[in-house]
Amino acid sequence: MSKYLVTGGAGFIGRHLVAALARDGKEVIAADSLSNAKLPDSAALPEGVSFVQADLADFAMAQRLVRETEGCFHLAACASVVRSEGAGWREAHSDTLVSGLALMRAAAERQEETGEAYPLVYASSAATYGASHESAPLAEDAPQKPVGAYGADKLALELHARSLGATRDASTAGLRLFNAYGTGQDPYSPYSGVITLFRQTLADNLPLTIFGDGEQARDFVHVADVVRAFCLALSAASPAAPVWNLCTGRATTINHLAEQMMEICGSETTISHAPPRIGDARYAVGDPAAAARALGFTAEVSLKQGLTEFLKN
């Protein structure tokens, strides 16, 4: 039976991926440092899944987990802007970049020992493109100009994947995630996405706050599609270290999002506008064509469908 490592396995996307792999009959080691996620209830873990609390930047730990598995989905990262830009920058850098490097090096080493490819699919981010793009969907060859430490670390991960592919045949694939949403994000965490925050605000019957004029656009991709793309990318991992957008290609403004969510909930709450967030991207929408060609991946869940399901759960 195939056994896979999922890092960030206690996080929002990680939990969905672990559940999907288990449903597919795979064994899974879900590893997480728990620095930004809650300990999963061991009694509720699907059959074939074990959980390990682990600092993945610890190379010996990465080596151990990689040796026990046949492939890795690397989702662990520190998405907190406050931590990665503030006093916790060193730990955040370790969680986002050093952990990925440790796993990639452990994967290359395992491959050299066994002579068999060890595929590693890692989460990169739309944050690698930066905030300065105006209106056209971003294809993979768009300039990458990250504005924060998180985006810089994700870009560095892509570069290291390429470098380790060239020097040691490390077999990787990167997926640049746009705005993922779905059940399981903590509604009280300031790091949760706008959809999760709006849902909680609507449930509390409070006014929605939109930062700026609300005409900034995002590419919202449902977590079920995210999971599918990760699974498809596993067999596309190679020493060429390919990277694809994980997106829908559809632009949704925050004004439109708020309207749609209010309509689905039948809410008549008010909307207040606050000053724009510093460094907020005006337009973060991906071009999905390359992933469609290479992986056969097209996002299937429409925003309306995804929001309706999400707001009911």
Asked if residue 184 binds ligand UD2 (CB under 6 A), the reply is: no
**75 within 8 A of 11, measured Cβ to Cβ:** yes
Least distance in angstroms from the C-beta of 213 to ligand UD2: 10
Residue 150, helix vs strand vs coil: helix
Asked if residue 102 binds ligand UD2 (CB under 6 A), the reply is: no
Query: Residue written as tokens 């439109």?
Result: 256
Asked if residue 127 binds ligand UD2 (CB under 6 A), the reply is: yes
Torsion sign, CA atoms 186, 257, 302, 267: positive
Q: Which neighbouring-strand residues pair with 50?
A: 29
Asked if residue 216 binds ligand UD2 (CB under 6 A), the reply is: yes
Least distance in angstroms from the C-beta of 210 to ligand UD2: 4
Q: Where does this chain touch ligand UD2 (CB under 6 A) — which range of 12-20, 87-95, 185-193, 233-241?
A: 185-193
The footprint of ligand UD2 on residues 73-92 (CB under 6 A) is 79
Asked if residue 164 binds ligand UD2 (CB under 6 A), the reply is: no
Give the containing element (helix H, strand E) for 271: strand 271-274
Asked if residue 284 binds ligand UD2 (CB under 6 A), the reply is: yes
In the list 132, 280, 300, 304, the residue contacting ligand UD2 (rule: CB under 6 A) is 280
Least distance in angstroms from the C-beta of 37 to ligand UD2: 14
Asked if residue 125 binds ligand UD2 (CB under 6 A), the reply is: yes
Query: For residue 115, what are the contacts with CB-CB under 8 A and spacing of at least 6?
Result: none
Asked if residue 170 binds ligand UD2 (CB under 6 A), the reply is: no
Q: How far from chain centre, in Å, is Cα 91?
A: 19
- Which of these, 158, 135, 137, lies nearest to 146 by C-alpha position? 158
Give the containing element (helix H, strand E) for 246: strand 243-246
In the list 62, 98, 197, 221, the residue contacting ligand UD2 (rule: CB under 6 A) is 197
| Other Cβ atoms within 10 Å of 47 Cβ, number | 8
**Residues in touch with ligand UD2 (CB under 6 A):** 79, 125-127, 179, 191-194, 197, 209-211, 216, 218, 254, 277, 280-281, 284
